Amino acid sequence: MIRSSRSQEVFERNREFIPGGVSSLNRVAPPRLSFARGKGSRMWDVDGNEYIDYHAAFGPHLLGYACDEVVAAVRRVLDEGVELFGSGATELEGELAALLCRNIPELDRVVFLNSGSEATAQALRVARAYTGKDHVIVMQGGYNGWHNDVACNVMTPLADVGPRRARDEYPVLPISAGIPLEHRSLIHVVNYNDLESVEAVCRRYPVGALITEPVLQNIGVVKPQPGYLAGLRALSREHGFTLVFDEVKTGFRNGFGGYATVSGITPDLVVYGKAVASGYPLAVLGGRADIMGLFEERTPGKRVLLAGTYNAHPIVMAAALATLRLLLDPDRAIYAQLEARSQQLESGLRLLLPELGRPVTVTRSASAFGVYFMDHEPRDWHDILEHHDMALDEALRARLVEKGIYWFPLATKQVSISAAHSTADIEITLEQVRAAVGELARERQTVAG
């Protein structure tokens, strides 16, 4: 057992003033650890345990913790007194906007917000304003934030999801209380990789937007089947809805920009977050000039409100500029390095995990991994619910955390590599996977015998 008494104390102390002791419910999974420090591929908890990290704080740390260039850029802003003034434009925001729009074809214009949830909320608001239609399609097993339009049907148990539906929507199952019933009637949940259900919903309701992660990455890595994203693009033209790619997780993992570039499918709007600023609170909403133009529309009643005390905070702008310049730097070749490490991990996992005596499928999108104990690549959440061995998944994760390899200890959660992971880090990781698999396989045999 790892030492965790101080971690537990932090939870208990915090609980007196913070409900549950922690500021995001998504961060709670057993064993409840409290982390104190991170550098490169490593992080340390308050009891002094060291981990090689594959969680990346749910995605932002593509460059690893406390990347020197990012930290230096933030320090410069602080030292030079570049404060938040809340009046007028700043040079930093213009610089970042130009860097993004000049390098990412799907961006004519961008706006800066503080979190992925804010940005997906604004994306849906501007999409509704543009189309004049209020209904929205979301994906079963997709996560797009915590607001009323999207806080539903992420990791819903099979008993609640019910039988698979074809050419149909699923009931909206909110992951939060307090979402008005009336509001739920505007939201339609369909399976990912299912174009026929999107079409069926569009025939029944005035759909103004469809929002999806182009690769589902909150339930591991579930990839689009050939033709799926192109099919969404065609349906959006046929039925007049705005196609929104939520690239909060996929963004900057596959290359500069999002999965849109990899797939060759251009959405109308795109949202980035997480990796774009290496863990500083930034989200970017961007896309077509005519839609984004609604943020500066002069006709009364047509303008979409863009406001926020902290929008485009200079510390965050500086962190993003430093991050993106590194990603673009040909001498650093960050994507080539990430690909080499990712292949090393992938082939090791494919070799070692079958020793558990269960079918295993490892999916990978660039430096993001899904590990499923089932005999095929999942096509959607329903498929995972029906076939994946969740208990074995959690047992493996718990064992790895004990051994100093931090895979987020909740079944199906994505495993991510950063540019700070070295060949030696991956070798150590694979040794620990081998040990964990051996222990679990022996225990399973004992139970079976």
Ligand X SMILES: Cc1ncc(COP(=O)(O)O)c(C=O)c1O
Q: Which residues bind ligand X (CB under 6 A)?
A: 58, 115-117, 120, 143-145, 213, 218, 246, 248-249, 273
The CB density around residue 404, as the number of other CB atoms within 10 Å, is: 16
For residue 222, the cross-strand partners are 216
Q: Which is nearer to ligand X, 35 or 373 (CB)?
A: 35
DSSP 286: E
Q: How many CB atoms lie within 10 A of CB 123?
A: 30
Q: Which is nearer to ligand X, 324 or 433 (CB)?
A: 324
Find the helix packing angle between 314-328 and 91-103, rounded to 10°. Answer: 30
CA dist list (Å): 102 to 105, 106, 256, 283, 314: 7, 10, 11, 18, 21
CA 102 to chain centre: 24
Count CA atoms within 13 Å of residue 47 on its CB side.
17
The whole-angstrom separation of Cα 380 and Cα 173 is: 17
64 vs 145, beta carbon nearer ligand X: 145
Q: What is d(CA 55, CA 446) in angstroms, rounded to the nearest whole number?
A: 32
CB of 137 to ligand X, least distance (A): 15
Q: How far is the CB of 447 from ligand X (least distance, A)?
A: 36
Nearer to ligand X, 270 or 437 (CB): 270
Is 165 or 313 the residue whose CB approaches ligand X more closely? 313
Q: Smallest distance, Å, CB 249 to ligand X?
A: 4
Helix (H) and strand (E) counts in the chain: 15, 14
Cβ of residue 113: shortest distance to ligand X, in angstroms?
9
- At how many degrees (to 10) do helices 314-328 and 68-79 cross? 150
State which residue, 34 or 120, has the beta carbon closest to ligand X: 120
Cβ distance to ligand X smaller for residue 247 or 393:
247
Min dist CB 278 to ligand X, Å, is 14
For residue 154, what is the enclosing H or E element? Answer: none
User: From CA 372, how far away is CA 119, in angstroms rounded?
Assistant: 30
Q: Which residue is nearest to ligand X (CB)?
A: 116
- Quickly tell me which residue has 């101080």 as its tokens: 6
**Residue given tokens 């959690």 in the structure block:** 394
Output 209 or 430, the one with its CB closest to ligand X: 209
Q: How far is the CB of 117 from ligand X (least distance, A)?
A: 3
> How many CB atoms within 10 Å of residue 446?
8
Contact between residue 309 and residue 64 where contact means Cβ atoms under 8 Å apart: no
Query: In angstroms, what is the minimal distance from the CB of 252 to ligand X?
Result: 13
Nearest approach, Cβ of residue 71 and ligand X (Å): 21
